[in-house]
Structure 1
């Protein structure tokens, strides 16, 4: 309610005003979303703008929704403003007022902390009122906002619950982004309406450590979850018997599988690999849906195994009768049946003129129902083209009906599916056209289904009359720019002598794709193979100077990932170089196979360059028992089998802090206080004069050792003073952690809060023994999270001793002043 008050009374947003969301944090998203819904303000969720292409879409959406307010973190604002500055003057002028439209999440949080009693005014909402706008359709250059009413959403939610027998007794878990309709409607709004427990997990957590998904499913006895094709493969890449040995997936009733074309091979492989952990063979539920239908249109009947059709590929053309493949067939494809109609949704198959086609005939999928959108926001032209007066909506998808069940063949519109995200051919072509030597209308982008992972391999066709050497350099520039702008890894760049076009001059992508699948371009592709090794993206020129074998191995692992053309140097930041969390997680998995148990995904945060990562791997391999200094606690304080995690929350009152610091305290002083107190306690408990504490530096994924010799300190305040220089040089820190206690082999780098959210509890307890984090407004709130070797009694002693020192300091300070 505080957030609603802020929007209504500070920003002056009124009912029916729009608010664009650029929020990556789930908690912040949910708070802002429900503030808008309660106040009748229209949320416009958009994919977080982490690359130039998504920033471009954000700016285009901003103009479509009348330059409304945008809520985002300050760091992203700076990135977008820099992007705008680099645009041509005409475009720059178009977005000159963007900064005035931004609402800073940090500013909102500060205001809310100072106004805890503020409550907004709930609006009167009608069923046909607009609930929110979903910009999942339309390309970057021409975004289309699907308008969804409260009636659309509630209708679809109840249809989903009836079709899947989803009730208040279920428990759901989702890692899918809340900007995606499956994440927002399917696994946030649906369980909320049905009043069942739900768990929302960071998408980045899944990207960097996907085992967390099903480990949490096991821990919480989840019954309903969701995952598209690419997620199954990503999960299996990380699956090890050791990490997953205690998992039990018997509670899972169904896993929704949609959002991209469904691969039977991928699904079956996933089910087979997870069968030893009690995942039932009928768990995966294929579904079909789209934003224009709110979410769900069809789904596989509950407890039914995946149904498929093996067909002759040549029969899958508009208006053709499907033909089952024979054993002798040389060109067949397996399509997954996506089930029966959800609720009262109506479907029919039509030709390009809207004429209804008979069953088992390929055509366009049309839908009708109370869940179907009223149209696209501020786009009556496209709305009229796709939505008939009697309510039938042309989805643009090709498919067929058989026995009142739907099977989807593909998209008539040019959508590419890559790692769970949708991209448009014309957007990628537009990026390629920015390269000198690539003429307008002389480049085509197609997606060819990869039968191994169910995603699309991106193939770029370029009209070419250059030599192989010259074309290889052109291909290099194209793949580099597309990777930098979108994060997409191009599979192949194909030179063609003549680009097939329509009479109106449009590239015929389907012709290029058909020719590619028929092998017509095989000769030219093979002819360019000798030059292919030169087609790679160089981020840092000095990458040829490799210093040691560990650096070589990291670079080899990086370059060996299938489809990866991004080449990095020794000092390039992994995340800045590619921005692809899935790529980094694959590299980490590959390195961990080479150096078993020595490398994790989180190391890429702490050591974000080849040089830094190689250094820590070398240290772990050559000196595994001396990775970092450990605190030699007494044996009676330690329990090697301890798996418990204890959390204590302590509050130090403002008057005690004022007494210690005399003047208004700052964050650096708080850090000095906690560091000094902690050093004294650990030194006393371990009977050591020298203590090393590792600190997580905020905003930078680095960890800093702070070495303190207690025998050289002349009193507590002298200790704090000696820490002042270290803290001031490295502020803000905000999270304090210690290394492993006793003789543990694991280092205890406590991660920044951002990185910390990527780890599940089991992994955290293996990596560190103690985390201390704090926040303060007036009072100081300290949280101790202690796990691993330290017994509970010793942990409690540590916490009480630290608090006792602060209290004694306050009492001493008061008596000194008096």
Structure 2
């Protein structure tokens, strides 16, 4: 196959597909056939809006499933998809609008929530006109509802543009990497061969679909070989990192991936006692790329996970970039991790490296990244693009059928980066050793954070938005923190006054950078002179070296003391909730100078860190705090007040006699679901009763459920959980049985209770795990639910003990009765369903109409 459209069409009848993981117990399988059919319906809508082949559609959504539908629809209609990550800070949002300006009057597909966020953002900036210019080219997800017609497939040629991948960094001028069908098919075939992939492999990824590794590597590649693959949202990994390998173990995944930071983040939360019984021997490759690789961290990760039978040769350290579609070099598979040590004093362009032992004082470690993959050519060049011999440091150039030929609508960048004979300057420095690549550094000044790159000159440009920061008087630099095993951002500011005055200035700069770009600045350091070349270029490496040599240690320590003292004044009298929030925020951020009135997004919080805090708060205040609350209550003081004012949701249990419960659960106990039919005769009678009493049939079923439980205990107050009118919200119905005279009044009481329930009453069924409290012997949590409201992929019996499911089929109703067989005896569960059916029969037989 020569094009993505051919690949997608070849999957039109495939029963394999994608499993979307949305929670620990929530998964949704969608076959390739289903994706193909849904995508054709979406294509129909796009074509009905007069979007023609060759026009661009920006995909600006958070939902992975929708992202794939829109992408497939574009490929099938020869529309050019442009995936863009949704952001909530200034720089990311303006990146979207910059991209819209670069493209040729593109269309954009999004949802109403994101659209409102964009509108509100621009309104605050008095720049609403930006969005208004594109108003007639915005398509909403609701436009694709209830569509039965299918679009017309437009076949592509290998040299057609398949999609445009914009640079992952948040820069003032994003570059659109133009990828043709030939580029993609060439590189995907190379990856299949280099990793020896087969259709029985199982991929699992949490990487975003707007990232080349997440989309090309872990969706398009498995699609090309008709492979089942699992996709979990990046936000879910951030909230529950252990779920990554838990799902790999559960589904016997064979190929995983993460940039360097993901392994460190996983280990931070890893607890062996939580992983008892895991067997990770099924995993054969874990792709490690997208940012500089730490050999020490890789070894630590492999050693820790060896206890769970993860093989030591699974770490697959690779080099790649969007301009190559994805892969540039792969090591041989099943090869142990390789590391080379060189003298850090001999790493300039044109110098021959000196290899040293790992214990040498000047040793710098570099992970071996293997050989160029099939159809990729690689060379190391000097400043004049002359090829250098092995073991000499130089610029890394690549060429091949997988390498882009141009940046979209950007001839200047294309000319500067791609030579006339097709060699592309990667912007990285490295050496070739025995035919294998080592990346030694970056020619571009880039700060790597969580798989994204941010240009240092762009960070300086944003910092100039702070009053007092002048052009050319601030310099950004990066250093690698070996203890934390991550790259840290430093800002050096030309300043000649007292430190006491500088402290407030430093705080303002940190807050501004975080708010605008979502970046954490480790230190803002005053300096009396910024080192520059004779041509005026900042010599950042000198600043980094001076910092690592300890030249600024005293200044940094004094500044932190001043800032801490200023912050402490605001934290003298704080509540218990504020203190708990403060402790969590300081631990997650790694800072000790946060004030209760500081804005979360100005002290260093980004979406990744925010998810961590929410996860921690869920343990302390189940169901009370969502990520969106941080925007509404953006300080510790305001969020604490909100938490204290919001009562936690409490669920009332129903008591059953002790003989209903199992004393010692036997694993051989079989799970059973009992069924009973409400036939047409009974259903017609129930409808007449409902009409006569001006109630619904659901009211009757709920009343019978309450009556059944009331006969089994001496409690005067009975509460059951109902999921009848909404696909997400569970509404408890609570009644005082002593106020009920007969069944007629019981039904009317139920109707009144259901009618008076306010819209915001109840809780999301997906939140039950957060508000669940420990059950005691004798207590059960009953639920009555309509089949139409049943959430897909969620095992409700993990949370509710007795579930009555109402399933309307043709002219009858099937009652399905499921019970928690680990707590309740099977024979007693059967008694319950028989009792319930007898109550319904009694109503039908005795009720006077």
Indicate whether the TM-score tops 0.5: yes
Structure 2 residue runs without a partner (length 5+): 1-36, 631-638, 784-790
Retained in 2: the 8 A contact 1:735–1:774?
no
| Deviation for aligned residue 1:688 | 4.3
Q: Does 2:654 match 1:631?
A: yes
Partner in structure 1 of residue 776 of structure 2 = 743
Correspondence for 1:278:
309
Tell me the residue number matched to 1:477.
508
Answering whether residue 124 of structure 2 is matched by residue 86 of structure 1, we say yes
Match of 1:412 among 443, 448, 463: 443
Alpha carbons of structure 1 residues 658 and 159: separation in structure 2 relative to 1, 3 Å: farther
Of 120, 132, 135 in structure 2, the residue corresponding to residue 96 of structure 1 is 132
Separation of aligned partners in 2, 1:670 and 1:382:
68
- Partners of 1:373 and 1:775 in 2: how far apart? 55
Match of 2:4 in 1: none
Q: Distance in 1 between matches of 2:756 and 2:466?
A: 50
Query: How far did residue 364 of structure 1 move?
Result: 0.9
- After alignment, is 574-583 or 157-166 more displaced? 574-583
Deviation at 1:433, TM superposition (A): 1.5
Alignment partner of 1:314: what SS? coil
1:363-762 correspondence runs (5 A): 363-502=394-533, 505-533=536-564, 545-548=573-576, 551-561=578-588, 563-564=590-591, 567=594, 569=596, 580-584=606-610, 599=620, 604-605=625-626, 609-610=639-640, 629-639=652-662, 641=665, 683=710, 688-692=715-719, 707-712=734-739, 714-730=745-761, 743=776
1:55 Cα deviation after fit:
0.9
Alignment of 1:122-201 (within 5 A): 122-137=153-168, 139-201=170-232
1:15 aligns with 2:14: no
Give distance in 2, aligned partners of 1:680 and 1:471: 71
Q: For structure 1, which segment, 690-699 or 2-11, has the greater mean C-alpha deviation from structure 2 after superposition?
A: 690-699
Partner of 2:34: none
Q: Are residue 294 (structure 1) and residue 330 (structure 2) matched? A: no
Checking the alignment, whether the CA contact within 8 Å between 1:631 and 1:739 is kept in structure 2 is: no
* CA gap 1:325/1:70 in 2 versus in 1, 3 angstroms: same
Secondary structure at the counterpart of residue 391 of structure 2: coil
DSSP-derived class of the 2:345 partner: helix
CA distance in 1 between partners of 2:736 and 2:313 (Å): 61
Shift in CA distance, 542/137, structure 1 to aligned 2, threshold 3 Å: closer
Cα deviation, residue 712, structure 1 = 3.2
C-alpha contact 1:479 1:565 (8 A) present in aligned 2: no
**CA distance in structure 2 between the partners assigned to 1:256 and 1:770 by the alignment:** 44
Distance 1:590 1:197, change over 3 A: closer
SS in 2 for 1:131: strand
2:362 to 325, 331, 344: 331
Contact 1:735 1:773 in 2 (8 A): no
Give 1:730 shift.
3.5
* Structure 1, 126-135 or 237-246: larger mean CA deviation: 237-246
Cα distance change, pair 525–389 in 1 and its aligned pair in 2 (3 A): same
Would the aligned equivalents of 1:265 and 1:452 in 2 still touch at CA under 8 Å?
no
User: In structure 1, what is the equivalent of residue 337 of structure 2?
Assistant: 306
Per the alignment, in what secondary structure is the counterpart of residue 528 of structure 1?
helix
Which residue of structure 1 lines up, in the alignment, with residue 26 of structure 2?
A: none
The answer to whether the 8 A contact 1:226-1:257 is kept is yes
- Cα distance per residue 1:159-186 (max 9 Å; x no partner): 1111111111211111111111111011
For the residues of structure 2 that align with 1:783 and 1:434, how far apart are their CA atoms? 63
Distance in structure 2 (CA, Å) of the matches to 1:749 and 1:577: 45
Q: Distance in 1 between matches of 2:595 and 2:831?
A: 48
Distance 1:747 1:588 in 2: 29
Q: Is the 8 A contact 1:695 1:733 kept in 2?
A: no
Of 73, 83, 88, 1:45 maps to 83
Quote how far apart the aligned CAs of 1:718 are: 2.9
1:32 pairs with 2:61: no
Offset at 1:724? 2.4
1:360–1:736 distance in 2 versus 1, CA, 3 Å: closer
CA distance in 2, matches of 1:374, 1:479: 39
Answer yes or no: is the 8 Å Cα contact 1:605–1:702 preserved in 2: no
Counterpart secondary structure, 1:166: coil
Corresponding residue number in structure 2 for 1:623: none
Please state whether the residue corresponding to 1:410 is helix, strand or coil.
strand
Does the 8 Å CA contact 1:261/1:454 hold for their aligned counterparts? no
Asked if the contact 1:207/1:581 (under 8 Å) is kept, the reply is no
Aligned to 2:17: none
**1:530 is paired with a residue of what secondary structure?**
helix
Deviations 1:629-678 (A, max 9, x none): 4332344544574899999999999x999989979x9xx99998997676
* CA 1:436–1:682: 2 relative to 1, 3 Å: farther
C-alpha change, 1:736 and 1:272, in structure 2 (3 Å) is closer
Cα distance in structure 1, aligned partners of 2:710 and 2:414: 71
Shift of 1:599: 4.7
Pairing partner for 1:225 from 256, 260, 267? 256
Give, in whole Å, the separation in 2 of the partners of 1:28 and 1:649.
Answer: 36
The 1:562/1:83 distance shift into structure 2, 3 A limit, reads closer
Q: Does the 8 Å contact 1:739/1:749 carry over to 2?
A: no
Change in 2 beyond 3 A, CA 1:735/1:217: closer
On the 8 A contact 1:311/1:332 being kept in 2, the answer is: yes
Which ranges in structure 1 are unaligned for 5 or more consecutive residues? 593-597, 621-626, 751-757
Query: Given the superposition, is the C-alpha separation of residues 660 and 281 from structure 1 closer, same or farther in structure 2, using an over 3 Å criterion?
Result: farther
Q: TM-score, normalised on structure 2?
A: 0.80
Q: How does 1:109-128 map to 2 (within 5 A)?
A: 111-112=144-145, 114-115=146-147, 117-128=148-159
Contact 1:747 1:767 in 2 (8 A): no
Query: How far did residue 152 of structure 1 move?
Result: 1.0
Which entry has the higher C-alpha Rg, 1 or 2? 2
| Larger CA deviation: 471-480 vs 685-694 | 685-694
Measured after TM superposition, the shift of residue 316 of structure 1 is: 1.5
2:635 maps to none
User: Within 5 Å, which residues of 2 pair with 1:757-772?
Assistant: none
In structure 2, how many angstroms separate the alpha carbons of the residues matched to 1:426 and 1:684? 74
Q: 1:41 to 1:464 in 2, by over 3 A?
A: same
Kindly tell me the number of residue pairs found equivalent between the two proteins.
778
Once the two structures are overlaid, the 10-residue window that deviates more, 726-735 or 192-201, is 726-735
| Shift, 1:285, TM fit | 0.6
Q: Which residue in 1 is equivalent to 2:30?
A: none
SS at match of 1:204: helix
For 1:24, what is the secondary structure of its paired residue?
A: coil
Asked if structure 1 preserves the Cα contact closer than 8 Å seen for 2:201 and 2:255, the reply is yes
CA contact (8 A) 1:7 1:13 kept: no
| Residues 409-440 of structure 1: per-residue CA shift (max 9 Å, x gap) | 22221221122332222332233221112122
Distance in 2 separating the partners of 1:800 and 1:687: 21
User: SS at 2:244's partner residue?
Assistant: helix
Q: CA–CA distance in 2 between the matches of 1:638 and 1:515? A: 70
**SS at 2:299's partner residue?**
helix
Change in 2 beyond 3 A, CA 1:797/1:4: farther
Q: Partners of 2:814 and 2:300 in 1: how far apart? A: 48
Aligned-partner Cα distance in 2 for 1:524–1:148: 48
Q: 1:740 to 1:83 in 2, by over 3 A?
A: closer
SS at match of 1:81: helix
1:148: how far off?
A: 0.9
Whether the 8 Å contact between 1:266 and 1:453 is mirrored in structure 2 is: no
Residue 703 (structure 1) shift: 9.6
Secondary structure at 1:231 match in 2: helix
- CA contact under 8 A between 2:161 and 2:179: conserved in structure 1? yes
